[in-house]
Amino acid sequence: MKYSALAYHQLSSYDRLKMDPHALDWEQEPAVYKDYPGKKVLDIPLEVKLEPVSLFKLFQPQEIRAQNHPPSFETLGQLLLLAQMLTGRARHANGEIWFRSIASAGALYPSELYIACSGIAGLAAGIYHYDVSKPALALIRSGNPMPVLDGDKASGTPMLTFLISAIFFRSAWKYRDRAYRYHLLDSGHLLENLLLALRAFSFAYELNIDFDDHQVNEILGVDPRREGCLALVKVPFSSPVSADTVEPLESAEGLSRYSQVAAREEMYDALRIVHQESIKVMSGQECRAGDWVRYGLIDKNSWKSIASPVPANEVYRYPEVLLHRRSKRNFITGEPMSAACLSAIISLVNDGFESCSLAAKGLSCGLLVDNVAEMEPGFYAVKSADRSLALVTAGNFLGHMSHACLDQRWLAQAAIHVLLFADLVEVEKCAGARGYREVMLVAGRLGQRLYLGATVLGLGCCGIGAFYDREASELIGMPDQVSLLYLLAVGQVKKSLHNKTK
């Protein structure tokens, strides 16, 4: 059987009249931490040493030149902590759950982070798994990863590549076939945090989405039916001097069993097949950008530029903001969101779009505005190239949208909903199912930006992956080929949510 990504998205859609009840099998609740017993473990000190910086400055596009030398083990530990750390704890019927600096659908945390390195002082060359729970690095394969990941360079030449994967059953346990959406969105959240950490430490990076899946999964030693790598981030060095010669990578035998996270894991067909399809990389062809005029939703003269963001009053700075990022649902409809906050939020999305390539150009952003100072409520198109908006339809949509989001009524109290769409017909045409991976990863990246940006502005934010797909699209009159990928609600919240911090 063969699915297009569009067919997968439709097949994994929710329909109010066809919801298939699904009781969670708690006996098979997936483990949220990957463990490699018997492997050498290096502890990472749980302390971030970084001068606080403005998050908005960090987000601005900037040219960073490759550093001469690889980071020390200490700096590498900092990068990993900033990419993902535990931030707070809650108890539930079956025990406790630790929240993290990234959001995750259902707090199921499908994404894993690895590094492949050579020539880092204090760290033997090899492949390591980052254990966020300790935090620590576990050496899972010692030896030189370079020939597979970085071409035919001399053994021992410094290299550092981060690898992000998803363990499929973690989210599929609850969300079944819809889970592939969350594997991609969640991994996008992690990816954005990692890239932000690299920028904070002034490391240049090269993001690679179009790698050879078979080769990379093989090098990680994962079971490709259960876990798949989704993104590589290479850190280049400008003067790579050779270190000591390093042995070839040791065998990956026995590692694949650690991709299993429950005794009895069900495989979901649509998820399995779309992932299989997305393994093929098509030769790069740029997608036609999402175009509101072409969709017939606005006139080309409707765009109105909005003021550039006034330097925002930042409640937190980076990296402290990572500890305070949580999903907030206690929105209040009191004071409207200021125009400056809205502008800052739009700039986060715009700057995020700048880093998009190829397929991700098919992504577009819309806004449902309900409670923003000096703005008529309505559905607005956002132009990603500059800071401009166009009113598509006037009216209050948040109540109806909250109904379309599986009746998550609290969503109606937010000030705005940010909507991320993609023309999946176009994405499919230019990049196949691999393009779906890319747009969803970018949507997740933008989601993490919005969460952090809202936190800095003292606002609440919550990502929403659960919506009746057709109902949500019809509500705002989007054309059939354009699918809603992700929604984020942002607005004022009651200042009463306390989280215990580790």
Ligand X SMILES: Cc1cc2nc3c(=O)[nH]c(=O)nc-3n(C[C@H](O)[C@H](O)[C@H](O)COP(=O)(O)O)c2cc1C
The three state secondary structure string of 338-362 is CHHHHHHHHHHHHHHHHCCCHHHHH
Q: What's the rounded Cα separation, in Å, for the pair 230 and 352? A: 19
DSSP 3-state assignment of 70? coil
C-beta of 77 vs 88, nearer to ligand X: 88
Tell me the closest approach of the beta carbon of residue 1 to ligand X, in angstroms.
26
Please name the residue that has the structure tokens 């071409």. Answer: 151
φ, ψ of residue 323 to 5 degrees: the values are -75, -20
Least distance (Å) from ligand X to the CB of residue 473? 16
Least separation in angstroms between CB 98 and ligand X? 9
Sheet architecture: strand order including 363-369: 304-305, 388-394, 378-383, 363-369, 416-423, 482-491, 460-464
- The nearer residue to ligand X, 76 or 323, going by C-beta atoms, is 323
- Comparing CB distances to ligand X, the nearer of 128 and 180 is 180
The minimum distance between CB 398 and ligand X, in angstroms, equals 15
Cα 202-446-3 angle, rounded to 5 deg: 120
Q: Which is nearer to ligand X, 186 or 192 (CB)?
A: 186
In whole angstroms, what is the distance from residue 120 CA to residue 67 CA? 14
Q: Could you tell me which residues are beta bridge partners of residue 367?
A: 380, 418
List residues binding ligand X (CB under 6 A).
Answer: 99, 103-107, 182, 185-186, 189, 326-327, 329, 408, 462-466
Q: What is the DSSP string of 296-308?
A: TSS-TT--EE-PP
Provide the minimum distance between the beta carbon of 444 and ligand X in the complex, in angstroms, as a whole number: 7
Q: Minimal CB distance to ligand X: which residue? A: 465
227: left (phi over 0), alpha (psi -120 to 50) or beta: beta
Closer residue to ligand X in complex, CB, 65/409: 409
Which lies closer to ligand X via its Cβ, residue 258 or residue 451?
Answer: 451
CB 491 within 8 A of CB 371: yes
Residue number with CB closer to ligand X (294 or 495): 495
Q: How many CB atoms lie within 10 A of CB 230?
A: 29
Q: Which of 187, 227, 186 is nearest to 207 (CA)?
A: 187
Cα separations in angstroms, 74 against 102, 122, 192, 238, 366: 22, 9, 21, 20, 41
Helices (H) and strands (E) in the chain, counts: 13, 16
The CA distance from 261 to 127, in Å, is 21
Q: Which is nearer to ligand X, 430 or 488 (CB)?
A: 488
Residue 102 CB, nearest approach to ligand X (Å): 8
**Min. distance of Cβ 348 from ligand X in angstroms?**
16
Nearest approach, Cβ of 261 to ligand X (angstroms)?
Answer: 18
Residue placing its CB nearer to ligand X in the complex, 33 or 373: 33
- Minimum CB–partner distance for residue 349 and ligand X (Å): 16
